[in-house]
């Protein structure tokens, strides 16, 4: 199971019970629509885009297709050797990270958009902090005012809760709904910005504040005919005052449009949806809040979970990926250095083991970075491929609490938090 700090788990359980009793306020969506959303969430639908094979990356050395695929609403170029477009989203091909450093360059960073990337002028942008959890009236911050606050930098991954979702279907033969990501809905960057806690204190957060609700300036989301409103997800005050950033820089440059320009939240170790892009306002509430993104979405539904779902997701899980194209060819008898990355939203990665024979024998990979919480670690392992034919590469991480990636992930209808070892099929030629 995913690891959560006791305080987070207690918070989540409480919030859900309050909401079912009608004691929590659903911000910006009516109760009936939320209940419909919950009902939809507990029944698995089809996996979007799985009809197109998940394993369709170009073979090494194949020139790019003449017309690059495009995702409506993503601003940056999406060269096919770097990205696989999935609806309004773009997945990073892991093989395209092979020669990158610890940090993912912004032009290779995956994009997850509910609608389209808005173009926002930093000079005209305002952040409004408001709500019953403040001791006074609403407070506005300009971009320059935010930049004038003490700046902190932090290396952190952003990873979609549904990253690796397609393996529930392709590896476990289970039905799940959502974008058919393989392993590339994750990237690590150096984020720089103001502390959310500094902004909340300056805005006059009161002692009775319980929830903080950042909201994006992108278009409202409509899903299956239900108007969900703007992307927003409540954060418990304890997390908001802990290590959350209002980031305005990514890898030393102003945030690019697709990644939240001018300002986004960075919520280290938590599911991607917590990292609200293009933030325009933050409600600070003395009452508990719910939104679609912590009720019908981003909870675990299915056998083994209560009808209203698990507690809202908080931390990411443990994963590993090879920087190798799916179906790649390796000449027999020639030594190769296999590289990859492992990461966890829980304790830092301690060891990574690799198998090149489908899981019969395992050996330790060499870690290339000092494992840190909220980041990933690069690793490598030598391999001399044997006889020509199909081969299966496996990588398995263990974190500092002793938790190891399992052989099978526990199913949930929306395919979140896949943590099992992924079978990476290649060919020896």
Ligand X SMILES: Nc1nc2c(c(=O)[nH]1)N[C@H]1C(S)=C(S)[C@@H](COP(=O)(O)O)O[C@H]1N2
Q: Please list, in sequence order, all residues whose beta carbon lies within 8 angstroms of the beta carbon of residue 399, skipping any fewer than 6 positions away.
A: 318, 344, 346, 347, 348, 349, 350
Listed in sequence order, the DSSP H helices in 115-223 are 143-148, 166-170, 196-202
Q: Determine the 3-state secondary structure of 305 from DSSP.
A: coil
Number of residues interacting with ligand X: please give it, by CB under 6 A: 18
Q: In the complex, what is the shortest distance from the CB of residue 271 to Mo ion, in angstroms, rounded to a whole number?
A: 7
For residue 301, state whether it binds ligand X (rule: CB under 6 A).
no
Please identify, using beta-carbon distances, which residue of 44 and 276 lies nearer to ligand X. 276
Q: In the complex, what is the shortest distance from the CB of residue 281 to ligand X, in angstroms, rounded to a whole number?
A: 12
Please list the residues that pair with 367 across neighbouring strands. Answer: 379
CB 177 within 8 A of CB 166: no
Compute CA distances 76 → 48, 114, 250, 340, whole Å.
23, 16, 15, 25
CB 221 within 8 A of CB 300: no
Interface pattern 261-280 for ligand X (x via CB under 6 A): -----------xx-xxxx--
Find which of ligand X, Mo ion, none residue 259 binds, CB within 5 to 8 Å per kind: ligand X
Q: In the complex, what is the shortest distance from the CB of residue 309 to ligand X, in angstroms, rounded to a whole number?
A: 17
Find which of ligand X, Mo ion, none residue 371 binds, CB within 5 to 8 Å per kind: none
Find which of ligand X, Mo ion, none residue 49 binds, CB within 5 to 8 Å per kind: none
CB atoms within 10 A of CB 32: 9
Q: In the complex, what is the shortest distance from the CB of residue 152 to ligand X, in angstroms, rounded to a whole number?
A: 19
Of 190, 186, 189, the C-alpha closest to 419 is 186
For residue 234, state whether it binds Mo ion (rule: CB under 5 A).
no
Q: In the complex, what is the shortest distance from the CB of residue 414 to ligand X, in angstroms, rounded to a whole number?
A: 12
Gyration radius from the chain CA atoms: 21
Among 76, 86, 112, 411, binds Mo ion (CB under 5 A): 112
Among 76, 239, 259, 350, binds ligand X (CB under 6 A): 259
Using the contact rule CB under 5 A, the part of the chain among 106-114, 254-262, 343-351, 376-384 near Mo ion is: 106-114
CB 47 within 8 A of CB 86: no
For residue 111, state whether it binds ligand X (rule: CB under 6 A).
yes
For residue 160, state whether it binds Mo ion (rule: CB under 5 A).
yes
Find which of Mo ion, ligand X, none residue 278 binds, CB within 5 to 8 Å per kind: ligand X
Please list the residues that pair with 159 across neighbouring strands. Answer: 186
Q: Please list, in sequence order, all residues whose beta carbon lies within 8 angstroms of the beta carbon of residue 394, skipping any fewer than 6 positions away.
A: 354, 355, 358, 359, 362, 421, 422, 423, 424
Interface pattern 256-285 for Mo ion (x via CB under 5 A): ----------------xx------------
Q: In the complex, what is the shortest distance from the CB of residue 166 to Mo ion, in angstroms, rounded to a whole number?
A: 14
What part of residues 161-220 is at the interface with ligand X (CB under 6 A)? Answer: 216, 218
CB atoms within 10 A of CB 172: 17
| The 3-state secondary structure of 226-242, one letter per residue | EEEECCECCEEHHHHCC
Binding site for ligand X (CB under 6 A): 109-114, 158, 160, 216, 218, 231, 259, 272-273, 275-278
Binding site for Mo ion (CB under 5 A): 112, 160, 272-273
């Amino acid at each position: 199971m995913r690891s959560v700090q006791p305080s987070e788990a207690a918070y989540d359980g409480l919030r859900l019970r309050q909401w079912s009793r009608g004691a929590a306020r659903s911000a910006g969506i009516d109760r009936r629509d939320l209940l419909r959303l919950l009902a939809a969430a507990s029944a698995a639908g089809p996996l979007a885009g799985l009809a197109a094979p998940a394993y369709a990356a170009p073979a090494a050395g194949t020139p790019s297709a003449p017309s690059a695929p495009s995702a409506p609403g993503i601003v940056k170029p999406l060269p096919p050797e770097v990205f696989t477009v999935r609806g309004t989203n773009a997945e990073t091909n892991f093989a395209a990270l092979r020669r990158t450093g610890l940090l993912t360059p912004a032009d290779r960073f995956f994009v997850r958009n509910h609608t389209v990337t808005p173009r926002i002028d930093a000079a005209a942008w305002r952040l409004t902090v408001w709500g019953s959890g403040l001791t006074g009236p609403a407070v506005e911050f300009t971009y320059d005012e935010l930049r004038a606050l003490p700046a902190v930098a932090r290396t952190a991954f952003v990873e979609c809760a549904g990253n690796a979702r397609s393996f529930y279907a392709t590896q476990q033969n289970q039905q799940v709904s959502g974008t058919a990501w393989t392993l590339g809905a994750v990237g690590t960057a150096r984020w720089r910005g103001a502390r959310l806690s500094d902004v909340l204190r300056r805005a006059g957060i009161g002692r009775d504040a319980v929830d903080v609700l950042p909201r994006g300036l992108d278009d409202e989301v409509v899903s299956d005919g239900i108007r969900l409103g703007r992307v927003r997800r409540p954060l418990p005050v304890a997390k908001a005052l802990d290590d959350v950033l209002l980031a305005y820089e990514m890898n030393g440059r102003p945030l690019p449009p697709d990644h939240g320009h001018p300002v986004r939240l960075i919520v280290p170790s938590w599911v991607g949806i917590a990292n609200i892009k293009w933030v325009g306002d933050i409600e600070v509430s003395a009452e508990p809040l719910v939104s679609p993104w912590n009720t019908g979405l981003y909870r675990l539904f299915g056998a083994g979970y209560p009808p209203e779902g698990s507690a809202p997701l908080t931390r990411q899980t443990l994963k590993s990926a090879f920087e190798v194209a799916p179906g790649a060819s390796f000449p027999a008898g020639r030594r190769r250095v296999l590289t990859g990355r492992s990461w966890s939203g829980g304790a830092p990665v301690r060891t990574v083991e690799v198998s090149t024979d489908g899981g019969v024998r395992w050996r330790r990979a060499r870690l290339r970075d000092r494992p840190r919480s909220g980041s990933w670690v690069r690793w490598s392992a030598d391999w001399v491929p044997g006889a020509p034919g199909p081969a299966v590469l496996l990588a398995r991480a263990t974190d500092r609490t002793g938790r190891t990636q399992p052989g099978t992930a526990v199913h949930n209808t929306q395919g979140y938090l896949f943590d099992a070892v992924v079978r990476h099929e290649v060919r020896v030629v």
